[in-house]
Structure 1
Amino acid sequence: MTDLPTLREHLDAHGLAAKKSFGQHFLLDLNVTRKIVRLAGPFEGRCVVEVGPGPGGLTRALLESDAGKVVLVEKDPRFIPLLSELDDGSGRLKIVEGDALKVREAELVDGPAHLVSNLPYNVGTPLLIKWLTGPWRPYALTLMFQKEVAERVVAQVGDDAYGRLAVIAQATADARIVMHLPAAAFTPPPKVASAVVHLVPLANPPEPAMLKRLERVTAAAFGQRRKMLRSSLKTLGGGALCEAAGIEPDVRAETVDVAGFLRLAAALEPQAQ
């Protein structure tokens, strides 16, 4: 990587700039991208998937690491030629042009892999839900979000940020914020700060059918945060559902912990169809 032009020079040479419609904000400081990779590793020769590599700042750090193979998923075709210049011919780098929300990761890699990405801001949350609840399970996920989203992922019951995203994330993984970055670290700088979240999927997560019920319950409960559960869950059973789960019907969603929501999802089973 030492004989490559700087990231800024690389962008200028290709005449590239961030697209607002893609939620692009580039991280051009290789010291920062290397730190993110250190926080995500070690990879011990395993495959790493990166979504939205853009100009390849994180990609360069991944290629310097102990990753066995690096698979890039990039939606913006403008960056494919630039990323291709990072390929040294060893077979370690694979570039896929596509929408990460639509790709099937199991078709891109053999078995599990690590996910390390500076996610486009406009699709970060749906991508996380996809990876935590879908059929393909990574070893670990080290992902950069807007600070507000990162706080929602790790929020605890009673916190202002506690909601549906926290319940689903913590029902499926151990999650913690491992790094904060100011807006000035990016080009162009976004209007908000960012944070990196490291998630390790649980050894025994809820079954897929249970996760679908959990998504239904949390969508209803947090869709009407100010209402008591007996009202917000009315279409799913209301007070009877709460009583079956051992939860007081008069409490609000933000006071129910992850275990409580899993009980609600389990109690929903007879009505799941």
Structure 2
Amino acid sequence: MLSLLVPAHSAHKCLPPLVVRLLDQCSDLTPIQIVVSSDDGFDYSSILPDDPRVVYAAPGLHTGPAAARNRALARATGSHVCMMDADDSVSGLFIATLFKALERHQAFALRSVYVRDRAVVRAFLERTVTLENYVAFYGSVLVVAPRAGFPQFPNVLVEDGLATLAVMHWRGGSLPVINAEYRITLHSDSYCASNGHTFTQRYREHLAQVDSIAKAFGDASLAVVFQHLYETRLAMSARFDSYVSEVGLMDYHEFVLEQPDRSEHTEACEAHNAS
């Protein structure tokens, strides 16, 4: 069974369609468990299908995404887990593609697709995810991995990214990317959407804490991996701060999307076009 971990905060409108879509895609051959972890005090069972495949983690109140993910992880009983967010969506053959991939791989990454107003504005196009192309993407690339040994999420920015990087690091430094689209929805209520909202100070703090963060994962060798992530995120956030001070207000997601994509796929295409 595959456990889908879904933290929920102010998700009254977006979570029901996601849950229904996931349930509609599964069968006896593709057993799933949707673990909803409320972090806003709301009882989501009152608006979600009465279905044994939907289970609920211990509720929390404004404890943050990492704590909500950890409660979902603690409740999960599947052999494998997949992290998600309540305001996102998935492609039509998402569940079937995941189970097909599980026949070949113990762990793998999903193909992230960023969507605004139903239009794709960015996608992770690599066949494998590595440290370099992950940090160059400046976005989320989520993983499916065994429940046993899956790391706890630390209470820091990019907590899902640290879990992805840890799983990847423990599996030799790369993971295959399967063609199951995980559709990340950009909208005005997003954490990153507030005009002028800055993450620079917190990124700077996290960069100074990479040794302790790595130790919390039980692997000091992760420090250099996390350092690279936070160095690139800090640089992007500092550029955003400069833009806001010189040009005017803009939301962080919009700014990042306007930056050149320096992933390996993009650079290879540019080199081919130039030849």
The TM-score normalised by the length of structure 1 is: 0.36
Bigger RCO of structures 1 and 2 (CA < 8 A, at least 6 apart): 2
The TM-score normalised by the length of structure 2 is: 0.36
